[in-house]
Chain A
Amino acid sequence: MNSSRICFGFLLASMFASGAGAAQDRQVESEKLFSDIYSVLTHPRCLNCHPKGDSPKQGLDAHVHVPPVARGEHDNGVAGLECSACHQTSNYRASGVPGAPNWHLAPVSMAWEGLSPGELCRALLDKSKNGNKDLKGIVDHMTRDELVAWGWAPGIDADGRARETAPIAKPEFDRIVHAWAESGAKCPE
């Protein structure tokens, strides 16, 4: 009787231990996937349009946009000088001005400058900051949005030099984003 109780207890403890271990493995894997995502989201190709202030940034050195432009009430410029004054729906080789559909800044609530991996991850998942997107909405935004995809097809600048693309090839990035979501979309501390 006693020995069977001991065995049952041992079995339960083992199950808990292995369950906790599996959960921990899952957390580690999810965090690792997010660290790859973080390397993309914090590349200037993405970060330049997720600024803290009212000015977009440009270039790998993230300098303030030239000419000076402002975010405006709807994140697409101001009256008389909207983003679409210069940015069309696709890159334009003749002027070197980049373009994609719905060219605009991310809202201030999605400003990523200076955020740690954990902070950025939590902001990404926070519906009060991310435009009320659930996890599927976030995955769709990162994998299907045409403006996001511009980060991998940024065209040439006014001097004819190819802009650096976001790191990690787009199909691989999309796979990582889906895998992160499937792993529970865990965030680092």
Chain B
Amino acid sequence: MISLHVNDKTYQLDVPPEMPLLWAIRDGAGLTGTKYGCGIAQCGACTVHVDGKAVRSCSMPVSAAAGKRITTIENVGATRAGKATQTAWEKLDVVQCGYCQSGQIMSAVALLKEKAKPNDADIDAAMSGNICRCATYVRIRAAIHEAAKTLAA
């Protein structure tokens, strides 16, 4: 059994220690907001926070996440940065198909927590590992600036 702390709740999961954290979150904890994209840390769709840092959950064994604080898209809005980011996403109507967006938001929040006023270069660097096949990149960047403005107010 592996004890996993996700979104302030503890789950006792009977899963193999080598299982990707992504599948423990989706199939074990039943939190399906985190998406499977590539499975090889190339697209960013599965991004969650582990102890506050953005992590590709497809590329971390669940055993490595045991005892750590995991936050997923379902609960990131409980933080000030997360709330501001989700609100900005809605305001600017960022989403097109939406599949990658939970990963996009998790990366954006991780950036804003470390850099409250990111410039375009900071945003591009932080978000370069999150692919959007609908190419919503321009709106994503604008929404991060918008969220930063809210956080500065």
Residues in A lying within 8 Å of B, measured CB to CB:
66-70, 72, 78-82, 84-86, 88-89, 92-97, 158
Contact between A95 and B39, CB atoms less than 8 A apart: yes
Contact partner of B53 among A70, A82, A96, A158, CB < 8 A?
Answer: A82
Please give, as numbers and ranges, the residues of chain A lying within 8 Å of B39 by CB-CB distance. 94-95
CB within 8 Å of A: which B56-89 residues: 56, 58-61, 64
* 14 contacting pairs across A/B (C-beta < 8 A): A79-B114, A79-B115, A79-B122, A80-B54, A80-B110, A80-B126, A81-B129, A84-B53, A86-B55, A86-B129, A88-B61, A92-B60, A92-B61, A94-B61
A68 to B43, CA, bound (A): 11
Beta-carbon contact of B60 and A88 below 8 Å: yes
Give B contacts to A, CB under 8 Å. Answer: 18-20, 39-42, 44, 47, 53-56, 58-61, 64, 107-108, 110-112, 114-115, 118, 122, 125-129, 131
Closest Cβ of chain A to B56, distance in Å, is: 5
Given A79-B114, A95-B40, A95-B41, the answer on whether A86 and B59 have CB atoms closer than 8 Å is yes
**Does B40 lie within 8 Å of A96, measured CB to CB?**
yes
Q: Which 8 A-B pairs have the closest CB atoms?
A: A80-B126, A80-B111, A79-B114, A86-B41, A95-B59, A158-B40, A67-B129, A78-B125
In contact, B58 and A95 (Cβ under 8 angstroms): yes
Question: Could you tell me the distance in whole angstroms from the C-beta of A26 to the nearest C-beta in chain B?
Answer: 48
User: Is B64 in contact with A88, judged by CB distance below 8 angstroms?
Assistant: yes
From known contacts A85-B53, A88-B59, A88-B60, infer whether A70 and B125 are also in contact, taking CB-CB under 8 Å: yes
A81 touches B40 (CB 8 A): no
Task: List A contacts of B20 (CB < 8 A).
Answer: 94-95
* A133 → B minimal CB distance (Å): 29
Decide: A81 and B59 in contact? CB cutoff 8 A: no
Task: Give the chain A neighbours of B47 by CB distance below 8 A.
Answer: 85
Partner of A80, one of B19, B41, B127, B131: B127
